[in-house]
Amino acid sequence: MSAALVTGASRGIGRAIACALAARGDRVAVHYGADRSAAEETVRAMAGTGHVIVGGDLSDPEVAAEIVRTADEALGGVDILVNNAAVAPNDENRHGVDEVDYEAWQAAWRTIVDVDLLGAAHMTYLVARRLIDREAPGFVVNVGSRGAYRGEPDFPAYGAAKAGLHAFGQSMAVALAPHGIVVTSIAPGFISTDRQTENIEGTAGEHLRAQSPFGRVGTPDEVAEAVLFLSSPAAAWSSGGVLDFNGASYLRS
């Protein structure tokens, strides 16, 4: 039985990952940014016992350190880190270069990069150092995006942050391999989280489903199943890899 810390686990993909890890027998620290009640709902949906809830804004390095300390002590050592928390594209942070002023442009970049890239980098450092100190192997799985490759013209900070996250994961894979720590990333396409229900069921739904030759969008449970593999000993030789996970909706050379 392993202990895992999943960031952004109060709903959507993070909740599915936390539930899948718990079903495997892992104890899980469920992280939330602001909505503790949603995190509590995640824990109620999880199998097993010994799970904990940790909250805080990952854009604050000191808060990130406290989150890791709390999770590590509560679980007796974190073996698996899933960097899932992210500021996702939405109408409020749209920042197309031809649509927003310079002030809004800067604000969008800072808000997104601070969580999606720097937050994940700090969490990785904090967990990895604790693993190294106790001479224990471990796993880091980064939840990136196909947007890192296909481009995000309306949300360039998001695309850049996810591309940076993939590159960061590869750097850490090399740096942490001597310590027995496996680092991988997954790059999902469009996923049917609860926040996307309106888009999927609305007028945009047909277009979204048509992006994949399978004629549908992915599900949080499918992402979770992939994370189960990436956080298992069987994935050791995948360290440094970025798993495209978009139903052939975007193919890169």
User: Would you write out the chain's pLDDT as a tens digit for each of its 253 residues?
Assistant: 899 999 999 999 999 999 999 999 999 999 999 999 999 999 999 999 999 999 999 999 999 999 999 999 999 999 999 999 999 999 999 999 999 999 999 999 999 999 999 999 999 999 999 999 999 999 999 999 999 999 999 999 999 999 999 999 999 999 999 999 999 999 999 998 877 777 777 777 888 898 999 999 999 999 999 999 999 999 999 999 999 999 999 999 8
- Which of these is catalytic: 102, 125, 158, 250? 158
Domains and CATH numbers, the chain: 3-245 (3.40.50.720)
Q: Which tokens in the block code for residue 144?
A: 């990136």
- pTM comes to 0.96
| Cβ atoms < 10 Å from Cβ of 211 | 18
| Cβ atoms < 10 Å from Cβ of 18 | 31
Q: Say how far apart CA 228 and CA 139 lie, in whole Å.
A: 11
158 is catalytic: yes
- Three-class SS of residue 80? strand
